[in-house]
Amino acid sequence: MGFATTAIHSGQEPDQTTGAVTVPIYQTSTYAQDGLGKHKGYEYARTQNPTRSALETNLAALEGGRFGFAFASGMAAIDATLRLVKAGEHVVVSDNTYGGTFRLFTKVLANYNIEFDFVDTSDALNVEAAIKPNTKMVFVETPTNPVMIVSDLRQISEVAHRAGARVVCDNTFLSPYLQRPLEFGVDIVVHSTTKYLNGHSDGIGGIVVLNDETDAAWIGFIQNSAGAILSPFDSWLVMRGTKTLALRMDQHDKSGRAVAAFLEEHPKVRKIYYPGSASHPQHALAKRQQSGFGGMIAFDVGSLEGARAVLESVKLCTLAESLGGVETLISHPATMTHASVDAEKRERLGITDGLVRVSVGLEDTDDIIADLDQALNNM
């Protein structure tokens, strides 16, 4: 089946009891049993819920994986994935990773004797050089948040697997419609379902998708034991979102390209970060590895004062954290998504005080461009 067909039908078969074409919201904490040890496959809603199970089936199919596990947030999904790493082991991470991931790794998990090295994963040789005898995982974000660095998933997977390490890819920025990391040798894919998979800025969630049965059993055990599960209603919201994922991503990609082209030519913009631009250093790799470039763009206006002028002058774009919704969202990474990263490292990574990030929404493209234009001209 094609992607759109899978998105609409996988895990979302009509309800056997009523024939409802939409998976019901099973808003229950427990399930009646016919007798001791006699139940219908469901005992307690932290452990199993039919709505959540349907979503997990759906998202695993979209990523081309065998197993899916839905969590209460993208960070909960990442945290569960890192439970595959034990004390005394080592993880290599993309240095320009999401601020919440950086905070979890350096401020929480590092306290439990897990070692992290942050490297520029745009070159697989950097990954290879960072691998140690105790390296058990390589955690890659591609494109990175917010300066859109692209990493070669196939090369990194080959390097990591030679060392006996798993590869995890955060695929939030592109969704499985535009990038399928498992096809390039990646072992585990994580998403914040809050973003493109949900697509409507009305729910928080996360997903882990993988193929290895042993690792899947452990992730499932963690999901049940720690209990950071996605609620039935939020599971239903994400399934509502995936039904239109193909259509939405096509438009995000189309508008993203147009907005990026406009920004690249604007005299007030000093630098643009967008893999779809021919000036991007990994443009050729993005064309090979992705089926599109998406709607995430960052651009630098040179100063905090300039960024503030833009962010406070927009009328259509919404100043807010998050991304991937139907509305265009605009943010300031240095003080918002990446505030947990120290200033020196932010500057080194290109997350300057003048950097602005845009999640291009589904409004008319000309209206988005006109709003950014008037805001830039207010600098």
pLDDT value of residue 345? 86
Whether pTM exceeds 0.85: yes
Same domain as 304, residue 164: no
Same domain as 219, residue 261: no
Same domain as 224, residue 90: yes
Last residue of a domain, one of 242, 271, 306: 242
pLDDT value of residue 61? 98
Same domain as 272, residue 303: yes
66-84 average pLDDT score:
98
Same domain as 142, residue 191: yes
pLDDT value of residue 312? 97
Is 300 considered catalytic here? no
Is 170 considered catalytic here? yes
pLDDT exceeds 90 at position 343: no
Mean pLDDT for all residues in the chain: 96
The active-site residue out of 31, 42, 46, 367 is 46
Same domain as 227, residue 260: no
What angle do the packed helices 245-265 and 365-376 form, to 10 degrees?
30
Last residue of a domain, one of 203, 218, 242: 242
Which runs of consecutive H residues, i.e. helices, occur in the chain? Answer: 3-9, 50-63, 74-82, 99-103, 124-130, 153-162, 175-178, 213-226, 232-242, 245-265, 283-289, 304-311, 343-349, 365-376
Domain extent for 265? 245-376
The active-site residue out of 195, 248, 257, 357 is 195
pLDDT for 356-367, tens place per residue? 999 999 999 999
pLDDT value of residue 279? 94
The active-site residue out of 26, 52, 79, 98 is 98
Number of domains in the chain: 2
Rounded-to-integer distance, Cα 29 and Cα 34, Å: 17
pLDDT band at 38 (very low <50, low <70, confident <90, very high): confident
pLDDT value of residue 376? 98
pLDDT for 107-133, tens place per residue? 999 999 999 999 999 999 999 999 999
pLDDT value of residue 39? 86
Same domain as 348, residue 221: no
pLDDT band at 17 (very low <50, low <70, confident <90, very high): confident
Rounded-to-integer distance, Cα 367 and Cα 326, Å: 14
Same domain as 193, residue 56: yes
Same domain as 142, residue 90: yes
Same domain as 256, residue 175: no
What angle do the packed helices 50-63 and 232-242 form, to 10 degrees?
30
pLDDT for 141-189, tens place per residue? 999 999 999 999 999 999 999 999 999 999 999 999 999 999 999 999 9
- Scan for tokens 């120290």, then name that residue: 342
Please report, for the domain that includes residue 294, its CATH number. Answer: 3.90.1150.10
11-28 average pLDDT score:
91
pLDDT value of residue 80? 98
Please report, for the domain that includes residue 149, its CATH number. Answer: 3.40.640.10
Last residue of a domain, one of 210, 227, 242: 242
pLDDT exceeds 90 at position 191: yes
Same domain as 347, residue 285: yes
pLDDT value of residue 15? 85
The active-site residue out of 170, 187, 234, 353 is 170
Query: Phi and psi (nearest 5°) for 269?
Result: -95, 120
pLDDT band at 104 (very low <50, low <70, confident <90, very high): very high
pLDDT value of residue 341? 86
pLDDT band at 31 (very low <50, low <70, confident <90, very high): very high
Same domain as 308, residue 192: no
pLDDT value of residue 37? 82
pLDDT value of residue 28? 95
Integer CA distances (angstroms), 211 to 61, 63, 99, 134, in order: 11, 10, 28, 23
98-111 average pLDDT score:
96
Is 46 considered catalytic here? yes
pLDDT value of residue 201? 97
